[in-house]
Amino acid sequence: MHRLKSVPPEKNLLDFLGNLQRTHYCGALRASDEGRDATVMGWVSGRRDLGNLLFLDIRDRTGIVQVVFNKESQPSAHAKAEQARSEFVVAVEGKVIKRQKANPELATGEVELLATKLHILNNAKTPPFPIEDEINAAEETRLRYRYLDLRRSKPHRNLALRHKIVLEIRKTMDELGFLEVETPMLTRSTPEGARDYLVPSRVHHGQFYALPQSPQIFKQILMIGGMDRYFQIVKCFRDEDLRADRQPEFTQLDVEMSFPRQDDIFHVIETVMVRACGVAGVKTQGPFPHMLYKDAIRKYGSDKPDLRFGMELHDVSQYFTSADRQPLGLSGSIFALAATGAASYSRRQIEELNERGISLGAKGVYTIKVGGDGPTSSLERLMGGKGRLIQIVEAVGAKTGDLVVIVGAQKHIPGTEAAALVTGQLRLLLGEQLGLIDKSKWQFVWVTGFPLFEWSETDMAWVSAQHPFTGIVEEDIELLEREDPNEKGKIRSKGYDLVLNGNELGSGSIRIHRQDIQERLFRALGLSEEQLRSRFGFFLDALTYGTPPHGGIALGIDRIAMLLAGEKSLREVIAFPKTTAAVDLMANSPSTVDGEQLKQLGIRASQRDRKIECACGGEWRIYYDEISAPINVPSQLKCPIDPKYVYLVPDDLSGITLIRHRAPLTQKWADFYRHVEDDV
Ligand code: ASP
């Protein structure tokens, strides 16, 4: 991939660390150290050669210090410094002196180190991107060379902040009487609404462990075991379609308490969050406000409302008669908001809103401009004059200069407000565009009163809105067995979410602690007696041995760290993140495994393809199908770009069907070997 632009000195010219001892971190030197002897160690991050004077910037985790090599006074150190290149690892012995002209950009800017000796401890290839704060390299390149990306100061700052947050959380939980208990990683499926990552068992062929989607069942069992207050900073694994703000493995603060009232759990979490925010310099205070789920949907079109700005939604369904709805093709409810000062939006901006609304699932987005001489809208003709337009403008509280944005949904999905949800998304977009969001605010809110079930269009069934262990409001328990499926949508859960600035930080609930109710719930979800026994039998049994009322919550540590670090992507606060395609570009995982390993596990991979980097910078790709009969594949293939690179075809793959090579610059594929099964 990378060419060796700078290789000197030869490996045998490298120095050993020996007994050399670091006296100072690079970023620690200050004017008060003037006159001291110092030995610093780190990476060469910059080099300026002025003939008699040669300057190297040396970087370590704490920052950068300038080192000066003087040809006259220290000729041998100077000569050695001439060999140093970017990212070489060095140790410098010298004396701290005042700089003639201070550099206010650097914390160490008042001083420099006058070198007496340079030790080159290791050399380095030229990195594929410069190690600087401002970075233009593609994220793919940064992830592939994560070790270089991590050398920049921002990842250091972010990981240090994350460490402090986690440490503070641990301290707080300890002070509040919680015990950190580890739960297994090789376990059985815990339903959290995603797919499991499975691990095949070698000892029991055909059987699998599941990596935990969460420790949910185990933490409840810890309550049955009398642990009373549990927490864990724990990895969870969910195989779901990834979005920018999701990672297949992520870290949670997982909490469970016995005999809690909802308020007790809230109080614990408020204490933890206020202190975690504190270490990031963010001042907040409990108690956090509460909002009912139905109000969050009705007013903000979201179950994670961003309360840093207003622009609330209004249900304007009543202003549309069925005669209006028919030509517009609307049958569900209609929501609207007054976009502050957006009457000046151009046609194109309005068209963009419309397109966004439709892509989010609306049937149509309509607008009313509120000008000095009243409302204007394309709806006027349809609605037979301005009368109802004026009513809508008043209902949403729009002022002159505002734009009323109206969203209609095509169909009514049970238990959801499609139009409200789309309007809620447009609210966020408009809030951002119009600069209405106060970015200095840290607005926490507890959302409560969730429905127990939600309608899944994919499964065409009612599914748990959270997970199937969520408690049920007592008066609604009887609705579990109701025949009328719509009654299911009315059952209220004892679940809650913690939301910060429009981000869901986590969710939890008071649990079902009675075996009979848990069993009824599973049945209401459509589990057969057999499924219920095989999946949850052990848990249902445990519930029968004196289970205390209990409840808890889990918060996403990655997301908390991301928000407190002021980052937009989770990848910025995770040392080794995966891409949105769930790939670790550095370690190259997932990857294929040896046939032998598969054999031991009793597994046959029917179809795979294998990617191998070619030394020319391109890539080999082998497609194969283990089911097809073994065939003769050449054991060596020459790279079409540079024939000195040879690819040794693995001999453990029998049914290769295609081998291709991709050129590094043109990205063009060349087919090398194609096997066509004989048609019999
Ligand atoms: N297990 C849940 C989750 O991971 C949290 C909880 O209910 O405590 O989202």
Domain for residue 549, yes or no? no
What pLDDT score was predicted for residue 658? Answer: 82
Report the alpha-carbon distance of residue 403 to residue 421 in Å, rounded: 19
pLDDT the model gives residue 673: 76
Nearest to 62, CA basis, from 157, 139, 140 = 157
Distance 466 CA to ligand 1 centre (A): 8
* Nearest atom in ligand 1 to 509's CA: 7
Q: How far apart are CA 669 and CA 247, in angstroms?
A: 31
The number of distinct structural domains making up the chain is 3
Ligand 1 atom nearest to 255, measured from its CA: 8
Mutate-to-test residue for ligand 1 from 189, 192, 246, 505, highest number of ligand atoms within 8 A of CB: 192
Distance 340 CA to ligand 1 centre (A): 38
236-271 confidence digits (pLDDT tens): 999 987 666 789 999 999 999 999 999 999 999 999
Listed residues 415, 433, 451: the one ending a domain: 433
Nearest CA to ligand 1 atom 1: 216
Contact criterion met (CB below 8 Å) for 178 and 577:
no
SS3 169: helix
Question: In the structure encoding, which two tokens stand for residue 267, read together?
Answer: 């109080």
Tell which wins on pLDDT, 329 or 215.
Answer: 215
Q: Give the helix, strand, coil percentages of the chain, each rounded to 5.
A: 30, 25, 45
- Ligand 1 pocket list (CB less than 6 A): 192, 214, 216, 467, 507-509, 552-554
- Bridge-based pairing of strands 646-648 and 636-638 is antiparallel
Query: For ligand 1, what atom is nearest to the CA of residue 254?
Result: 8
Alpha-carbon span 327 to 346, nearest angstrom: 25
Residue nearest to atom 3 of ligand 1 (CA): 554
Here the tokens at position 247 are 């990672």
Find residue 199's DSSP bridge partners: 209
How would residue 20 be classed by pLDDT, with cut points 50, 70 and 90?
Answer: very high
CA of 553 to the centre of ligand 1 (A): 5
- With the most atoms of ligand 1 within 8 angstroms of its CB, the residue from 252, 269, 450, 505 to mutate is 252
DSSP label at residue 152: S
For residue 444, how far is its CA from the centre of ligand 1 (angstroms)? Answer: 19
CB count within 10 Å of CB 125 equals 16
CB 234 within 8 A of CB 251: yes
Ligand 1 center to 469 CA (angstroms): 9
Contact in structure between 655 and 627 (CB atoms under 8 Å): yes
Count of beta carbons in the 10 Å neighbourhood of residue 553:
24
| Alpha-carbon span 303 to 293, nearest angstrom | 6
- Of residues 187 and 325, the one with the higher pLDDT is 187
CA distances from 548 to 106, 474, 476 (A): 58, 16, 21
CATH number at 57 reads 2.40.50.140
Lowest mean pLDDT among 88-92, 121-125, 143-147, 632-636: 632-636
Of 24, 55, 36, 39, nearest to 117 by C-alpha is 39
In this structure, which amino acid lies at residue 306? D
Assigned domain for 669 exists: yes
**What confidence category does residue 154 fall into, taking pLDDT thresholds of 50, 70 and 90?**
very high
d(CA 187, CA 196): 11
Q: Is 59 helix (H, G, I), strand (E, B) or coil?
A: strand
Is residue 443 assigned to a domain?
Answer: no
CA of 16 to the centre of ligand 1 (A): 51
DSSP 8-state assignment for residue 492: B
- Ligand 1 atom closest to Cα of residue 190: 1
Cβ count near 23 (within 10 Å): 14
Looking from the CA of residue 214, the nearest atom of ligand 1 is 4
Q: How confident is the model at residue 609 (pLDDT cuts 50, 70, 90)?
A: confident
First to last CA, the chain: 44
Residue in the block written with tokens 């610059």:
665
> Ligand 1 pocket: which of 507, 511, 513 to mutate (most atoms <8 Å of CB)?
507
Q: To test ligand 1's pocket by mutation, which of 178, 216, 256 has the most ligand atoms within 8 angstroms of CB? A: 216
Instruction: Tell me the CA–centroid distance for residue 512 and ligand 1, in Å.
Output: 13
469 and 536 Cβ atoms separated by less than 8 Å: no
Q: How far is the CA of 440 from the centre of ligand 1 (A)?
A: 29
Nearest Cα to Cα of residue 210 among 196, 194, 195, 192: 196
157 CA distance to ligand 1 centroid (A)?
A: 29
pLDDT band with cut points at 50, 70 and 90 for residue 606: low
Residue 511 CA: nearest ligand 1 atom is: 7
Distance 244 CA to ligand 1 centre (A): 21
Using the 3D structure, point to which of 122, 147, 164 is the last residue of a domain.
Answer: 122
- Counting from 1 in the atom list of ligand 1, the atom nearest the Cα of 236 is 4
Spatial separation of the C-alpha atoms in residues 219 and 254, rounded to whole Å: 8
Determine the distance separating the centroid of ligand 1 and the alpha carbon of 567, expressed in angstroms.
24
Do the domain assignments include residue 21?
no
Q: Quick one: pLDDT at residue 657?
A: 77
DSSP annotation string for 284-341: --SSPPEEEHHHHHHHHSSSS--TTS----EE-GGG--HHHHHHHT--S-EEEEEETT
Instruction: Please provide the size of the chain in residues.
Output: 680
Q: Above 60 in pLDDT, residue 379? A: yes
Cis peptide before 104 (omega within 30 of 0): no
Q: In angstroms, rounded to a whole number, what is the distance separating the alpha carbons of residues 224 and 226?
A: 5
Q: What is the mean pLDDT of the chain?
A: 91
Non-local (6+) Cβ contacts of 585 within 8 A are 140, 143, 144, 146, 579
Ligand 1 centre distance from Cα of residue 464 (Å): 13
Q: What is the Å distance from ligand 1's center to 281 Cα?
A: 28
Is 661 inside a domain boundary?
A: yes
Res 475 pLDDT > 50: yes
The rounded distance, in Å, linking the Cα atoms of 441 and 491 is 35
Show the tokens assigned to 211: 């990596």
Q: How confident is the model at residue 416 (pLDDT cuts 50, 70, 90)?
A: low
Give the ligand 1 atom nearest the CA of 252.
4
Q: How confident is the model at residue 3 (pLDDT cuts 50, 70, 90)?
A: very low
Q: pLDDT band at residue 680, thresholds of 50, 70 and 90?
A: very low
What is the distance between the alpha carbons of residues 41 and 28, in angstroms, rounded to a whole number?
12
In this structure, of 145-149, 287-291, 451-455, 514-518, the range with the lowest mean pLDDT score is 451-455
Look at residues 639, 680, 642, 677 and name the one whose alpha carbon lies nearest to residue 660.
639
| R_g of the chain, CA atoms, integer Å | 31
Residue with the smallest CA separation from ligand 1 atom 8 is 553
Task: Give, using CA atoms, the residue closest to atom 7 of ligand 1.
Answer: 508
Nearest to 387 by CA among 409, 368, 364, 408: 368
Dihedral angle sign, alpha carbons of residues 102, 106, 111, 115? negative
Reported in sequence order, the residue ranges of 165-228 that DSSP labels E, i.e. its strands, are 179-180, 198-200, 208-210
303 C-alpha to ligand 1 centroid (Å) = 16
At position 598, the amino acid (one-letter code) is: L
**Residue type at position 20:** L
HEC-encoded secondary structure of 550-562: EEEEEEEHHHHHH
Mean pLDDT is lowest, of 305-314, 373-382, 558-567, for: 373-382
More confident residue, 94 or 657: 94
The Cα-based distances of 364 to 181, 327, 361, 420 in angstroms read 51, 11, 9, 13
Assess if residue 51 is contained within a domain.
yes
Cα(238) to ligand 1 centroid in Å equals 12
Closest ligand 1 atom number to CA of residue 508: 7
Q: Give the CATH number, domain containing residue 356.
A: 3.30.1360.30
Residue with the nearest Cα to atom 4 of ligand 1?
214
Boundaries of domain holding 104: 26-122
- Which two structure tokens, joined as six digits, stand for 213? 């989607």
CA torsion 465→469→475→480, rounded to 10°? 70
Residue 438 lies in a domain: no
Token digits of residue 148 = 């270089």
Mutate which of 240, 466, 558 for ligand 1 pocket (most atoms within 8 A of beta carbon): 466
pLDDT in tens, 44-74: 999 999 999 999 999 999 999 999 999 999 9
The predicted-structure confidence for 196-236, as pLDDT tens digits, reads as follows 999 999 999 999 999 999 999 999 999 999 999 999 999 99
User: Is 63 a member of any domain?
Assistant: yes
- Domain boundary among the residues 66, 92, 122 is at 122
**What is the dihedral sign for C-alpha 142, 143, 144, 149?**
positive
Query: According to the model, what pLDDT value does residue 222 have?
Result: 98
